[in-house]
């Protein structure tokens, strides 16, 4: 075992043990994963944070005010990045949240999403995009296959990543793309800060990958890694300060009113979030 991570903000005595695999360099957290705990964690407050939410127009369209919020600026940047890889096609966003990325991607792709939280999925539908509520591991996609599957900050939260990769492989067309973001457990920030690393937040993140371990995971599931990079993204100052207070053990103070507009953000890149682009191996 490497160290323990205590989560008093989730309940008294809640603690996760972090382990590593010396051969593949993968780090993983073990601890409570009860449905009631996860449901409380991913409630409306999670999807309604200043990093995850933005106002939209009455018709569900992005407005000039929407464009000030970090989540909208990030989903537009991600759509442009994807467009450089593929100019069109069917896209599935796994863990779609409120559907902002599906909304942005729909300008280029035939995009849809799936999201566990029913309220978040309903918000997406209110914007006029196709977001269903359910678990992508068991959802019936009616034999449909996609050109692109995206998983923004999702794979690290799954307790059985190999099962998830196998499911994705089956949902992709031959030579289809899997594009995902995940915490870089081999980054300088992760190695130096250890349990105090801001992304060391089980059960939101359970798996912490390195280049070696993510390539091993994807190769075993029939994928060839095309690119691994570290992209900057817009981060809400309000969200950042609250995360830092929780990391420092001041969870109660993190609930107080802060003197920053939710739309006030900065570009941030600590080199600790990987963007991975992988191609489904046509031979499998």
Residue 259: pLDDT band (50, 70, 90) is: low
Per-residue pLDDT, 226: 96
Residue 239: pLDDT band (50, 70, 90) is: confident
| Coil vs helix vs strand at 140 | coil
Give the dihedral of Cα atoms 24, 25, 26, 31; nearest 10 deg.
120
Q: Does 104 score more than 70 pLDDT?
A: yes
Residue 94: pLDDT band (50, 70, 90) is: very high
Per residue in 201-238, pLDDT (tens digit) is 999 999 999 999 999 999 999 999 999 999 999 999 88
Q: Are 79 and 104 in contact, with CB atoms under 8 Å apart? A: yes
Per-residue pLDDT, 250: 61
Per residue in 149-197, pLDDT (tens digit) is 999 999 999 999 999 999 999 999 999 999 999 999 999 999 999 999 9
Looking at 34-43, 66-75, 164-173, which range is the least confident one? 34-43
Per-residue pLDDT, 206: 97
Long-range contacts of 108-114 (CB under 8 A, 24+ apart): 108/79, 108/82, 108/83, 109/82, 109/147, 109/148, 114/139
d(CA 80, CA 86): 10
This prediction's pTM? 0.93
Per residue in 126-138, pLDDT (tens digit) is 999 999 999 999 9
Per-residue pLDDT, 11: 85
Per-residue pLDDT, 190: 96
Q: How far is CA 246 from CA 90, 190, 199, 239, 251, in A?
A: 39, 17, 11, 11, 4
Long-range contacts of 130-139 (CB under 8 A, 24+ apart): 130/102, 131/96, 131/99, 131/102, 136/92, 136/94, 136/167, 136/171, 137/163, 137/164, 137/167, 139/114
Q: Does 243 score more than 90 pLDDT?
A: no
| Coil vs helix vs strand at 91 | strand
User: Which one of 3.90.960.10, 3.40.50.2000, 3.30.43.10, 3.40.50.150 gives the CATH number of domain 3-280?
Assistant: 3.40.50.150
Q: Does 16 score more than 80 pLDDT?
A: yes
Looking at 5-9, 83-87, 158-162, 180-184, which range is the least confident one? 5-9
Residue 258: pLDDT band (50, 70, 90) is: low
Per-residue pLDDT, 164: 97
């Amino acid at each position: 075992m490497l160290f323990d991570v205590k989560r008093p903000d989730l309940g008294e005595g809640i603690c996760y043990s972090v382990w590593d695999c010396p051969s593949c360099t993968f780090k993983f957290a073990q601890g409570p994963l009860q449905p009631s705990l996860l449901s409380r964690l991913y409630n409306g407050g999670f999807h309604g944070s200043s990093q995850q939410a933005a106002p939209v127009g009455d018709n569900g369209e992005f407005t000039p005010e929407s464009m000030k919020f970090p989540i909208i600026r990030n989903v537009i940047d991600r759509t442009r990045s994807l467009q450089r890889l593929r100019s069109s096609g069917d896209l599935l966003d796994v863990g779609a949240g409120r559907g902002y990325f599906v909304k942005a991607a729909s300008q280029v792709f035939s995009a849809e999403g799936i999201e566990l939280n029913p309220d978040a999925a309903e918000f997406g539908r209110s914007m006029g995009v196709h977001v269903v509520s359910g678990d992508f591991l068991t959802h019936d996609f009616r034999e449909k296959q996609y050109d692109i599957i995206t998983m923004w900050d999702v794979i690290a939260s799954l307790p059985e990543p190999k099962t998830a990769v196998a499911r994705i492989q089956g949902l992709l067309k031959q030579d289809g793309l899997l594009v995902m973001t995940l915490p870089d457990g081999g980054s300088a920030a992760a190695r130096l800060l250890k349990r105090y690393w801001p992304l060391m937040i089980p059960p939101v993140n359970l798996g912490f990958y390195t280049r070696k371990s993510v390539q091993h995971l994807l190769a075993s599931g029939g994928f060839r890694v095309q690119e691994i990079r570290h992209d900057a993204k817009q981060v809400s100052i309000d969200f950042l300060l609250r995360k830092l207070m929780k990391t420092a053990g001041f969870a109660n103070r993190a609930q107080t009113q802060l003197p920053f507009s939710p739309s006030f953000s900065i570009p941030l890149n600590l080199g600790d979030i990987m963007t991975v682009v992988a191609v489904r191996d046509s031979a499998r």
